[in-house]
Amino acid sequence: MLETLKKTLYAGVGLAFLTKDKIEELTKRVAEEAKLSESEGKKLFEEFLKKSDEARQTVEKMVAGAVSSALGHLDIPKRSDVKALEERVKALESKVAGRG
């Protein structure tokens, strides 16, 4: 069961990073082997393309979540935190400059 899950995950990750040309090449091979009509081949290509895009988005979300979690554990501030602090410093500098 675990091996099947791993293979499915690896296939999804692989699909996520296939280029459009590679997907087209893969689709042509599958269509030829399965003796699909031109319209069926085109439908298969569009489906592969859609699944590739979905897989890519899923992988990107997973990576972003993992990075965010790692940064949280490392106690490293996010860009938005640093930006907020910069704005506060500018505001305080303006106040101090106005008094002088």
Q: Give the model confidence (pLDDT) of 67-77 as tens digits.
A: 888 878 888 88
Residue 22 has pLDDT above 60, yes or no: yes
Q: What is the reported pLDDT for 76?
A: 83
Residue 38, domain extent: 2-99
Q: What's the number of domains the chain is made of?
A: 1
Q: What is the reported pLDDT for 96?
A: 93
Q: Provide the whole-model pTM.
A: 0.53
Residue 92 has pLDDT above 90, yes or no: yes
| Residues 41, 33 contacting (CB under 8 angstroms) | no
CA distance 41 to 46: 9
